[in-house]
Amino acid sequence: PEIVFSVNGKPEASLKCGSYKGVVKGVEASEFPTIPVFDFSDGVSLDANILKEMILKTAFAASMDDSRPVLTGVLLNIDGKSVSMVATDGFRLAICKAELPVALGKKQLNIPASTLKEVVRILGATKASQITLCLPATGSQLAMRCENVQIVSQLIDGKFPDYQAILPKGYKTRTVIGAVDLLKACKQAGIIAREGSNVVRFHLKPGIDQTGKVQLLSESDETGASEIELDATVEGQELEIGFNVKFLQDGLEAISTRNVVIEINAHNTPAIIRSADREAPPLGEEEGFLYVLMPMHIDGK
């Protein structure tokens, strides 16, 4: 049966379908926010797949805590032909960089992560190949358009943390390990760890001729303990360090290469996690994905 909607001048709609009758209350149309008009002729067009990938590799690391609004967003940084997205919740940091076909000057915008997650959903539904961004010269709103869908979002005020300052300089222990194997081990260790503090102890043990082992140890007073050992290439000093295994898992899921590199200075310093598909330029400068994870306290450390 068909559904009949009707209005009678009041802020309500009447519905009728077969033997059913109903009324849905609304509000006066004049109370609906004014939709701003944007000039997309001067907008910036980006490859939709690249933008979608950058969002998926960063937005998950944004904070869910509204008490620090600046961390609930993703920093979009355009500098000439370079574009990057950065997100952090204070415990981890995700950076994704790409190159643009043309230079676009300089612009920094802090976009709510919730908005960007909605953009990903819309891009998946529309199958758009391009998305156009109308970047504000002044003001606090950003507009995006893909096919016949337009998204307008408030930007987040406040100074985004100087994330470059926390990127580790060099390392004392470097581990190259299979991404799929490590991700699987994290999920296994997480079964025990999630019943406690979600912390897994990682024991990085160098071997002979660039061989080595990585042990994942987790325990809980309620459920027991687990130990997983993986083959890896471990260079430098032997090290024990604790990580929030869910946060590590999130970072690994953003890496699509066969192997990952983990670089660490000490048990109480951040770890750099990135793909191992090629020789890396100086830390924090390469195009692609970079993940920084703060360590967790473990007994004896």
Confidence of residue 281 (pLDDT cuts 50, 70, 90): very low
- 189 plus 84 within the same structural domain: no
Q: Tell me: do 180 and 271 sit in the same domain.
A: yes
Handedness of CA 3, 4, 5, 10 (dihedral sign): negative
Asked whether residue 26 falls in the same domain as residue 96, the answer is: no
CA separation for the pair 132, 280 (Å, rounded): 31
Examine the domain organization and report whether 136 and 226 are in the same domain.
no
DSSP 3-state assignment of 101? coil
Between residues 140 and 94, the one the model is more confident about: 94
Tell me, yes or no, whether 171 and 275 share the same domain.
yes
State whether 154 and 122 are in the same domain: yes
48, 107: one domain: yes
* This prediction's pTM: 0.87
CA dist., res. 39 & res. 212, Å (int):
57
Residues 189 and 95 both lie in one domain: no
Nearest-angstrom CA–CA distance, 33 and 37:
13
Instruction: Mark which of 115, 134, 163 sits at the end of a domain.
Output: 163
Q: pLDDT digit string (tens) for 8-64?
A: 888 899 999 989 999 999 998 888 888 788 888 888 888 899 999 999 999 999 999
Q: Clarify whether residues 46 and 101 are in a common domain.
A: yes
pLDDT digits (tens, 9 = 90+) for 99-136: 887 887 888 999 999 999 999 999 988 888 899 998 77
Q: Is residue 300 part of a domain?
A: no
Q: Is 158 helix (H, G, I), strand (E, B) or coil?
A: coil
Range of the domain at 261: 167-293
Looking up residue 48, the CATH number of its domain turns out to be 3.10.150.10
Same domain, 155 and 50: yes
In a domain, 100, yes or no: yes
**Whole-number pLDDT of residue 150:** 92
- CA distance readout (Å), 259 to 36, 189, 278: 47, 20, 10
Residues 109 and 143 placed together within one structural domain of the fold: yes
Using the predicted structure, report yes or no on whether residue 74 has a pLDDT greater than 70: yes
Number of domains the chain contains = 3
Between strands 73-79 and 92-99, the pairing is unpaired
Please give the pLDDT value at position 270: 96
pLDDT digits (tens, 9 = 90+) for 239-267: 999 999 999 999 999 998 899 999 999 99
Asked if the structure places residue 299 within a domain, the reply is: no
Looking at the fold, whether 172 and 159 belong to one and the same domain comes out as no
pLDDT in tens, 32-44: 888 788 888 888 8
Q: In what order do the strands lie in the sheet with 173-178?
A: 106-112, 73-79, 82-88, 92-99, 288-293, 271-275, 259-264, 173-178, 224-236, 212-220, 199-206, 239-244
Q: Which helix (H) or strand (E) holds 114?
A: helix 113-126
Give CA–CA dist 130/64, Å, rounded: 29
